[in-house]
Amino acid sequence: MSHSNFEETEPLLTDARTPNDPDDEETLRGSSNFGGTSSEPPQPRAPRTREAPRDHTNFLPLRHGKFTRLEIMLAFTCLLLLILMSIFAGLYGPCLTPDCVLIAGKIIEDMDQTADPCEDFFQYSCGGWLKKHIIPDDKGRYGYFDILYEENQELLKRILEEDDFPSIETAGLPSPSVSIDKKNFYNLQSFYKSCMNEDHISQLGGAPLVPILNRLFENFPVENRFSLFNNFGHQLDNLQQAAPLDLLNLTNTLSNLSTIDVQPLLGFYVDADAKNPKENVLYLSQSGLVLPSKEYYEEEHIMVTYKSVMAELLGRALDNRSNFIIEMGYTISNDAIEDIYEYSIERFWLRGWEEIADKIIEFEKALAKISLSPEDFNDPEATYNKHTIKSLEKLSPTFFWSHYISSLLPPTIPDLPSKIILTSNQYFENLSNLVRKTPPPILQAYFAWQIIARHANSLDEKFQAPLRRLKAKLRGVDENVKPKRWEVCLSSVDQTLGRSIDIANQMIDSIKDAFVDRLPDLDWLDAETREKAIEKVDAIIQKVGYPIKSPNTTNPRSLQDYYRDIKFDEDNYFDNLLSSYLWGSEKQWKELGQPVNRYSWYMSPQTVNAYYNPTVNEIVFPAGILQFPFFSSKAPEYINYGAIGTVIGHELTHGFDNNGRQYDATGRLIQWWSNATVESFKEKAECFVNQYSKFTVNDTNGVPVHLNGRLTLGENLADNGG
């Protein structure tokens, strides 16, 4: 299932959406101005109908001589309108408040008035801003989303680094709640401090990986003489002689790895059933590619860097090889151990790490070939394939599915699920065949690499630097620019523990009204589909600010209950992360088969973004984006509509883009458009595909690369709709 969010295509639009700089300190501080308005879930408005537009034009013959009664009435009406316009001009003249003057100044400052708006409206609107700002060396894009994000992060940093509990946050809370609030805060602070303790992280080096890798070798053993890690790649030509694959060991390995957020070969998640959105079901999807998309495995210059990074990280992770091999039960002479320690990482490559990397990459390339492309996931109907355990085991018999799922189910759910959704039948059928024909030593090496790649960023700089080099190659940024540690740690906190409203809600309502009012102008939309579209707009749930249930982020006890089973040690960042992964996995499995929690949010309140969720038919706007320059209660309405209104319109349009249009007013995946309307939509959408596919950006070598208009279709439609 897709949760479409606004910021995904910002690089396409740069920053023309909101030509203002954040300058209002009060609005930047003001999360207290935004929040949930009720403990009950937001209710959709009553349905409405729309009449067909009527022609009110009067065709009157020309007359000469005295005025008719109608002409006199028209003249009187015009005079009355002029009087009213004069009155309203006085009431709603130019806004000259300090805030309006500030905003106007920012707009003018961001413009390039030397540009011809008829020739280049973007340069005319945003040229001043572009002249004053450059994209940082470590970023692939930069705009107001990033600026506001940085300011939000600075605020959170100040709070988390305070020595004393920020008492201002507990104003008005009863005494017991203050105590609970302090405990919640100190637990959060412990996680942050553990991440900031770089000295301790450096002292540990790659040691935190050792027990995890040891567990892998215990769960998925390979004969010593065939292990790639035991023989430095010298036995690569004889791998087919290794013992056959043990399917139970394979299943146990996948199950154990999933609890530490490593999902090779396949991934799972629990979410609303797209065709019965009131119930949570288990989804199984493709997984296991370290690179962001299968297409990267066909780019030779990227694969050269990938191989180099993989070889270095394999060497780093297995650097303390004497302990490693002894604990795995392998035998190696003391002379060989001394030889290993004499060589640098570069010399290790010569002894086999690159050969091992070649074998892992060869397997990943085979995995990429059977994987769906990103644009394939834009079709929710094609990625909804219902199965039972029995039919899944018939389709993909290499895995013991009953054992895999039962090993992950919590004790509160004794029965296996009756329904499982696959994103692709073909992938799981091909995966079964691919894994069976792959020698176990290569699978073992691949699993080890999956562990290392997933957790390297949580280790010291020696592990982080190679991954930064790979990301730099993929994004075209400077690999030598190291992010500030506090930024890394705040991001980690947000991923692990992250969790004026009336004005914003009124704006959403009015934009929904405008959307409905324009539907009759779409001649390709037949009457029946138009009425159902109106029903869907009316049924959209809007969430603004922050969660008010499950958990209620304004209530200390609710937060305490939500995070009850997770405690952090400020001296052990890596273990804290593993604890959070296990906690998240268990929490997700507990949702299986339960009614969908319509209160849950997929973004934390401080996030500078927004999203549309099709299976709940909701649009969500966290407090993080409800700040200047996107939104200010002190700004004129027309400024807010030009800024946050664009975001609202974008998310609303997602409900009717190439993905969202396939979900009805209740969030159910079903064809509710007529066939003729669907065909008309596809024909018009193809124009957007072709238009955006003509845009190019230069890669790091200055070679133009065309955008994938089909992949970005949903975001492009939403941008234009917004």
Residue boundaries of the structural domains of the chain: 209-482
Helix (H) or strand (E) holding 589: helix 573-590
pLDDT band at 68 (very low <50, low <70, confident <90, very high): low
Residue pLDDT, tens place only, 254-270: 999 999 999 999 999 99
The packing angle between helices 644-654 and 713-721, to 10°, is 130
CA dist 659 and 274 (Å) reads: 12
pLDDT at position 557, please? Answer: 86
Residue pLDDT, tens place only, 384-441: 999 999 999 999 999 999 999 999 998 888 889 999 999 999 999 999 999 999 999 8
Please state which of the four CATH numbers 1.10.1380.10, 3.40.50.970, 3.40.50.300, 1.10.8.60 is assigned to the domain occupying 209-482.
1.10.1380.10
Question: Which of 2-6, 34-38, 123-127 reaches the highest mean pLDDT?
Answer: 123-127
CA dist 41 and 633 (Å) reads: 24
| Amino acid in the structure at residue 209 | L
Q: Is the pLDDT of residue 176 over 80?
A: no
CA dist 238 and 592 (Å) reads: 44
Helix (H) or strand (E) holding 217: helix 209-219
> What does the DSSP 8-state code read for residue 208?
T
pLDDT band at 240 (very low <50, low <70, confident <90, very high): low
Pull the structure tokens for residue 311.
Answer: 């070889």
Show the DSSP H helices in 423-484 as ranges: 425-437, 440-455, 461-475
Closest CA to 362 of 419, 469, 292, 434: 434
Q: What does pLDDT average to over the chain?
A: 81
pLDDT above 70 covers a percentage of the chain that reads 77
pLDDT band at 634 (very low <50, low <70, confident <90, very high): confident
Q: Is the pLDDT of residue 13 over 50?
A: no
Closest CA to 442 of 344, 542, 555, 357: 357
pLDDT at position 169, please? Answer: 52
- The residue written with tokens 């940024």 in the block is 477
CA dist 295 and 488 (Å) reads: 28
Residue pLDDT, tens place only, 493-550: 887 766 556 777 777 888 888 888 888 888 888 999 999 999 999 999 999 988 888 8
pLDDT band at 323 (very low <50, low <70, confident <90, very high): very low
Closest CA to 642 of 447, 507, 488, 544: 507
pLDDT band at 243 (very low <50, low <70, confident <90, very high): low
pLDDT at position 344, please? Answer: 39
Partnered with residue 542 across adjacent β-strands are 619
pLDDT at position 36, please? Answer: 39
Q: Is the pLDDT of residue 148 over 80?
A: yes
* 354, 304 contact by CB (below 8 A): no
pLDDT at position 91, please? Answer: 56
Q: Which residues contact 505 (CB under 8 A, 6 or more apart)?
A: 37, 542, 544
* 664, 536 contact by CB (below 8 A): yes
* 373, 296 contact by CB (below 8 A): no
Closest CA to 534 of 519, 547, 544: 519
pLDDT band at 37 (very low <50, low <70, confident <90, very high): very low
Q: Is the pLDDT of residue 347 over 90?
A: no
pLDDT band at 668 (very low <50, low <70, confident <90, very high): very high
Q: Is the pLDDT of residue 27 over 70?
A: no
Q: Is the pLDDT of residue 163 over 90?
A: no
CA dist 711 and 350 (Å) reads: 40
| Amino acid in the structure at residue 512 | K
Q: CA geometry: angle at 671 spanning 42 and 424, to 5°?
A: 95
Percentages of the chain per state (helix, strand, coil), in multiples of 5: 55, 5, 35
Based on its alpha-carbon atoms, the radius of gyration of the chain, rounded to whole angstroms, reads: 29
Q: CA geometry: angle at 658 spanning 42 and 668, to 5°?
A: 45
Q: Is the pLDDT of residue 90 over 60?
A: no
CA dist 700 and 698 (Å) reads: 7
* 357, 387 contact by CB (below 8 A): no
Answer yes or no: pTM beyond 0.85.
no
Average pLDDT estimate for 132-161: 87
pLDDT above 90 covers a percentage of the chain that reads 49
Q: CA geometry: angle at 177 spanning 171 and 178, to 5°?
A: 55
Q: Is the pLDDT of residue 594 over 60?
A: yes
* 370, 217 contact by CB (below 8 A): no
Q: Which residues of 237-265 are buried (b: 16+ CB within 10 A; e: fewer)?
A: eebeebeebeeebbbbbbbbbbebebbbb
